[in-house]
Amino acid sequence: MYLSAFYFPGAEAEFDFMRELKTTYDQSVYPYGVLPKVGLDEIIFRPVTILYGGNGSGKSTALNVIAEKLRLNRSSAYNRSRFFEDFVDACRVTQEEAIPKESRIITSDDVFDMMLDIRAVNEGIDRKRETLRDDYYALKQERFKISSLDDLEHLHRINQARSKTMSRFIEGESGKSVRERSNGESALMYFQGKIEMDTLCLLDEPENSLSPENQILLADFLAESVRYCGNQLVISTHSPFLLALPGAKIIDLDNHSRIADSWTQLKNPRVYYDFFRKHAAEFDNE
């Protein structure tokens, strides 16, 4: 445990701020006005703490405020306004231990940016390979006489073209594509690579881009990182696979930020359960 508790300004403090500012929530003073609507004034943490709620409930807002207050590492920009720093300054935090410098927040935008980077690399390699096909045939037929040391590199390319098949020549010249993995597999590896031992990690809807199978693998990885590697996790999620993490404290923002007695009683898992129970006979007949 690194993070013990986090205290947001609260409805009364937000009201006083708005009165001094002489404006209303309707005039876009984000993140003011978001968390009082769901009754989220404070979070008392456990090794695994989960924020659960529908879209617009404030899960991501809360994580970003905590990350900014703690100055955690992050990769992608996030939604903020000119009032964000005032809001963060009004928050309080208590720690059990110093937050390790490798601690970070990982958002779905980070994962999407990684996928776009992979796509850009692959597209660049594909364009280069198209050019190399023409180079291959030209080099095989070229009559070349070396006249200086500067010509050695070109002579090497000629020899490579004449000694290799086209596919091996192109592979050697272009570099290897990284598309062998699916988006979900790449996303899973991203989390495994970014989450270091003995750190505090905030994860904003990490199930995005992951199939159910990969969500289960992520849940297993996260559980092991807490049990064996000294990690503390704060997660916002809808995923029943992550909600079922052993020993997790679940704050239900859809129910005025009350602590859930069990993940199985939350609306989203119940929707899954009711759906599969309705179709149970179809599974039994297979």
Mind listing the pLDDT tens digit of every residue in the chain (286 residues)? 999 999 999 889 888 888 887 766 656 788 998 999 999 999 999 999 999 998 889 999 999 999 999 999 988 767 677 889 999 999 999 999 999 999 999 988 887 776 666 665 555 556 666 676 666 667 667 776 666 656 667 677 777 777 777 666 666 666 555 445 566 677 888 888 889 999 999 999 999 888 899 999 999 999 999 999 999 999 999 999 999 999 999 999 999 999 999 999 999 999 999 999 999 999 888 6
Q: Which two tokens stand for residue 22?
A: 């002489």
Label residue 5 left, alpha or beta by phi (over 0 means left) and psi (-120 to 50 means alpha). Answer: beta
AA identity, residue 260: A
pLDDT, position 182: 61
Number of neighbours of residue 188 by Cβ within 10 angstroms: 23
Strands, E assignment, the chain: 3-7, 42-44, 48-52, 92-95, 104-106, 200-204, 232-236, 249-252, 258-259
What is the reported pLDDT for 76?
A: 74
The pLDDT value recorded for residue 246 is 94
Q: What's the confidence (pLDDT) of residue 36?
A: 93
pTM given for the model: 0.77
What is the pLDDT at residue 34? 92
Please choose, from the candidates 1, 17, 5, the residue with its C-alpha nearest in 3D space to the C-alpha of residue 69: 5
Residue ranges of the domains in the chain?
A: 3-109+185-284, 111-174
Residues in a beta bridge with 182:
none
Contacts of 215 (CB under 8 A, 6+ apart): 207, 239, 241, 242
pLDDT score of 5: 97
Q: Which residues pair with 6 in a beta bridge?
A: 43, 93
3-state helix, strand, coil in the chain (%, to 5): 50, 15, 35
Identity at 70, one-letter amino acid code: L
- Residue 21 is predicted with a pLDDT of 79
Contact by Cβ (8 Å): 73, 172: no
Q: Do 233 and 223 touch, CB atoms closer than 8 A?
A: no
Asked if residues 127 and 101 have their Cβ atoms less than 8 Å apart, the reply is no
What's the confidence (pLDDT) of residue 23? 65
Answer positive or negative: Cα dihedral of 124, 125, 130, 132: positive
For domain 3-109+185-284, give the CATH number: 3.40.50
- Yes or no: say if 45 and 31 are a contact pair by the CB < 8 Å rule: no
Q: Which of helix, strand or coil describes residue 203?
A: strand
Sequence-distant (≥ 6) Cβ neighbours of residue 155 within 8 angstroms: 144, 146
How many whole angstroms separate alpha carbon 139 and alpha carbon 159? 8
